[in-house]
Amino acid sequence: MNAPLRVAIVGAGPAGLYAASHLLEGPGGTYLNGQLHYLVHRPVEVDVFDRLVTPWGLVRHGVAPDHPEKKLVHTVFDALHHRPWFRYYGNVEVWRDIQPAELSSWYDAVIYAVGASGDNRLGIAGEDLPGSWSAREFVAWYNGHPEYRNADFRLDHKRAVVIGNGNVALDVARILTLPIADLERTDIAPHALATLRNSAVREVVLLGRRGPEHAAFSNPELEELGDLPGVDLVVDRADVPEAATRKLATLRRFAERPLHGHDRRIVLRFDTSPLEIRGRERVESVQVTGGDVLDTGLVLRSIGYFGLPIDGIPFDTSRGVIPNEDGRVVGLDRTYVTGWIKRGPRGIIGTNKKCARDTVRTLLADASTTATSLPAMEVERRVRERRPDFVNAVGWLRLDDHERRLGRLAHQPRQKVCDPAEQLSLANG
């Protein structure tokens, strides 16, 4: 039997987990058009690293809590962890704990699937005033990302302003306006639920810088926004052109129907850009094009995520991605990339499945027959040396089980543990 092809994957989000799943489909094989093709005649072993204790990336810390049906990618992890050739190293950050060059010397190949954990910038005055946050930070807070659990979101003004009109903008608008009884049934972080319970926000204004024909949200998400219980969706009929697209037809329907007079509303404004975020100590208003000034205490800048560099790995600072050709990192041997850090912060969960398959195909086509990797046990010894409290798949499943059990008691899918020390103690016993 040939020595195994040992691959490290950095990032346990959808892209990383799909890559692991493609790699482990067959011994050095991959399914093309439904058939298993052997690209390398070596058994494959995969170690997945994540800087957090928990896997799933944005499926845990991005996808909205009221969209549980979108979180099914957990089945990919569930299928993987049974396999003897799969290992999970949670709570291990590449760069902080292991340098990229070391990782490359330990494995035959490395795939970076680290997502995009920074923000696009508006570049206007007042962007960094307290009370002005990126939607990414708000999303991370309500989804229980450990690094945002103590963020001080103040929902004490009746209006919130969201800049941008992609699907993330719609997510945050929904979370700010949904009845608390609806949120109570979700896996929203307990601290966010407590703050939202006392929220003064009654109006969320979304600013799209272009016309509705260019709006980045998708039609099903728009339809859902128009049917939220206890929430009026306000669209100005004059904004919506006659063109026959699904989204415009939906917008026209919403613009033409009478408002219910609910005490919560979401207002979609188009062709409106923020010029300045104003306030003395905190956000007090947003000046927008057309001379309007919107009073508000909370601004969420939902204008896109942005990839962050890792020292030792090439980085395209203008696009926020790792430069690559067909998934091969430019200038580095045996190093690959997939997901948002490969393509930019666009695309739904499923997009990463094909993206990961393309990268895995490239990797298998490049793989030599000679092993350059360390045995699995030696890698584990070295990781333990750096990070004695790393979390393996069994540890994560213990925490997962705990969260689900807490959730069952509260009629929720799960109750997230957000404190990393508590996560570690539950995972590692």
Ligand X SMILES: Cc1cc2nc3c(=O)[nH]c(=O)nc-3n(C[C@H](O)[C@H](O)[C@H](O)COP(=O)(O)OP(=O)(O)OC[C@H]3O[C@@H](n4cnc5c(N)ncnc54)[C@H](O)[C@@H]3O)c2cc1C
Ligand Y SMILES: NC(=O)c1ccc[n+]([C@@H]2O[C@H](COP(=O)([O-])OP(=O)(O)OC[C@H]3O[C@@H](n4cnc5c(N)ncnc54)[C@H](OP(=O)(O)O)[C@@H]3O)[C@@H](O)[C@H]2O)c1
Of these partners, ligand X, ligand Y, none, which one is at the site of residue 139 (CB under 5 to 8 Å by kind)?
ligand X
What whole-number distance in Å separates Cα of residue 289 and Cα of residue 240? Answer: 18
For the chain, the first-to-last Cα distance in angstroms comes to 38
Distances in Å between the alpha carbon of 369 and those of 39, 67, 110, 365?
11, 44, 16, 11
Q: Kindly tell me which residue out of 52, 160, 205, 283 binds ligand X, with binding defined by CB under 6 A.
A: 52
Q: Tell me the window of 29-37, 283-291, 328-336, 340-348 that interacts with ligand X (CB under 6 A).
A: 340-348
Q: How far is the CB of 14 from ligand X (least distance, A)?
A: 4
Please give the angle made by the CA atoms of 226, 340 and 349, to the nearest 5 degrees. 50
Q: Kindly tell me which residue out of 25, 95, 118, 407 binds ligand X, with binding defined by CB under 6 A.
A: 95
Q: Is 176 in the site for ligand X (CB under 6 A)?
A: no
Helix, strand, coil percent content, the chain, rounded in steps of 5 = 35, 20, 45
- Binding to ligand X, residues 351-380 (CB under 6 A): 352
Of these partners, ligand Y, ligand X, none, which one is at the site of residue 253 (CB under 5 to 8 Å by kind)?
none
Q: Is 208 in the site for ligand X (CB under 6 A)?
A: no
Closer CB to ligand X, 70 or 246, in the complex: 70
| Closest C-alpha to 46, from 68, 67, 22 | 22
State the burial class of residue 303 (Cβ atoms within 10 Å of its Cβ: 0-12, 13-18, 19+): buried
CA-CA-CA-CA torsion sign (131, 136, 139, 141): negative
Q: How far is the CB of 74 from ligand X (least distance, A)?
A: 12
Q: How far is the CB of 278 from ligand X (least distance, A)?
A: 27
Q: Which residues on neighbouring strands pair with residue 277, listed in sequence order?
A: 286
Q: Is 349 in the site for ligand X (CB under 6 A)?
A: yes
Q: Is 348 in the site for ligand X (CB under 6 A)?
A: yes
Q: Tell me the window of 14-22, 32-40, 212-220, 224-232 that interacts with ligand X (CB under 6 A).
A: 14-22
Q: Is 47 in the site for ligand X (CB under 6 A)?
A: no
Closer CB to ligand X, 10 or 364, in the complex: 10
Pair 81, 74: CB distance under 8 Å: no
Pair 339, 11: CB distance under 8 Å: yes
Pair 192, 149: CB distance under 8 Å: no
Q: How far is the CB of 202 from ligand Y (least distance, A)?
A: 23
What whole-number distance in Å separates Cα of residue 341 and Cα of residue 110? Answer: 14
Closer CB to ligand Y, 168 or 364, in the complex: 168
What whole-number distance in Å separates Cα of residue 246 and Cα of residue 150? Answer: 40
Closer CB to ligand Y, 285 or 302, in the complex: 302
Q: Is 126 in the site for ligand X (CB under 6 A)?
A: no
Q: Is 329 in the site for ligand X (CB under 6 A)?
A: no
Please give the angle made by the CA atoms of 58, 60 and 63, to the nearest 5 degrees. 65
Closer CB to ligand X, 169 or 367, in the complex: 169
Q: How far is the CB of 22 from ligand Y (least distance, A)?
A: 22
Binding interface with ligand Y (CB under 6 A): 120, 122, 163-169, 171, 208-210, 214, 216, 221, 273, 302-305, 345-348
Q: Is 26 in the site for ligand X (CB under 6 A)?
A: no
Give me the helix-helix angle, 420-428 and 393-409, nearest 10°: 110
List contacts with ligand X (CB under 6 A).
10-16, 49-52, 57-58, 62-63, 67, 70, 93-95, 113-115, 139, 168, 171, 305, 310, 339-340, 347-349, 352
